[in-house]
Amino acid sequence: MNGTRKAGPRAGLILLLVLAIPAVRSMMEGDMALHMLLQFPLLLLAGWLLTQGLTEQTRAELRKWNHAGIAGLLMASLVLMFWMIPRALDMALSDSTVELLKFITLLMAGATLELSWQSAGLIVRGFFLGNVLPMMMVVGWLYVEAPVRICSAYLTDDQLRAGSGLLALAIAGSVVWLLAFFCPPIRSKEIHDENQ
């Protein structure tokens, strides 16, 4: 556990620093699909890893505000919802303050996911996924079907690839989630925890 507590934040910090390198940033943000489907998840992962360094005392304090992970997962879904809006993507590319806010909010969303996932249990998690996955599918469809470019910064082809990628990711996420119902070892403990 101690090993994870040290290794996790270290890996998270390294990942964050790599993502912040201007060349890496412009490479990822130059392509809408990489921006949404690679940079976003990596920022979430960095937030998740950084949070593993929190002490048990801090976690206990945060749990008071995050009963059954509801507040945390709600916040994560709101952040994800916001950054799927095409205008938000445009603003992040044209305004460095918004770009900074994007980094911070996605890191925080990753952090709240880490803080909430274990305590959320099957139902709250299911509700979160039942919201986020269809939302990704609808946004993916919007990107694919929109008759015009919906981001000033990206071409129609970018939009099409990002939309298709979101759809694929959402479908894959749904399959993995439902397959998890068939896997006993992890879930039984979580469900026991949820009933406490």
Partner 1 sequence: MNMQKEMPAVGAVKVYAAISGVVILLMMVFGLVMRMTQGQMLPIEPNVFYQLMTAHGIGMVAIAGLGGSAVMWHFLGKYVNLRAGFAWANLAFFLTGVVLVLGGIFLGGFAAAWTFLYPLPANGMGQWGKHAAAAYMGGVLLVGVGMLLFYLESARAIIQKYGSFARALGWHFLKSGQDAPPATVIASTVVTLINIIAILIGAVILTMMLVNLYVPEIAIHPLLAKNLIFLFGHVFINSTIYMAVIAVYEILPKYTGRPWNVYKPFVWAWSATCLMVLTVYPHHLLMDYAQPLWMHIMGQIVSYTSSLPVLALTLTATLGSIYRSNIKWDLTSALLVLSIFGWSAGVIPAVIDGTIAVNQVMHNTLWVPGHFHLYLLLGCVTMILAFTNWIANKEKAAGFSGLEKSMLWVFAISAFAYALMFLLSGQASVPRRWAVHLPEWLAYSQIASLFAAGVVISAMAIIVRAMGGIIRPARQA
Looking at the Cβ atoms of 2 and 195, the one nearer to partner 1 is: 195
* Binding segment (CB under 8 A) for partner 1, from list 45-53, 61-69, 88-96, 188-196: 188-196
142 touches partner 1 (CB under 8 A): yes
**Residue 34 in contact with partner 1, rule: CB under 8 A:** no
Determine the interface stretch with partner 1 among 11-19, 33-41, 111-119, 187-195 (rule: CB under 8 A). Answer: 187-195
- 182 near partner 1, rule: CB under 8 A: yes
22 lies in the binding site for partner 1 (CB under 8 A): no
Calculated CA dihedral for residues 31, 33, 37, 40, nearest 10 degrees:
40
| Identified binder of partner 1 from the candidate list 8, 12, 121, 163, rule CB under 8 A | 121
Residues that bind partner 1 (CB under 8 A): 121-123, 126-127, 130, 133-135, 137-138, 141-142, 145-148, 174, 178, 181-184, 187-188, 191-192, 194-195
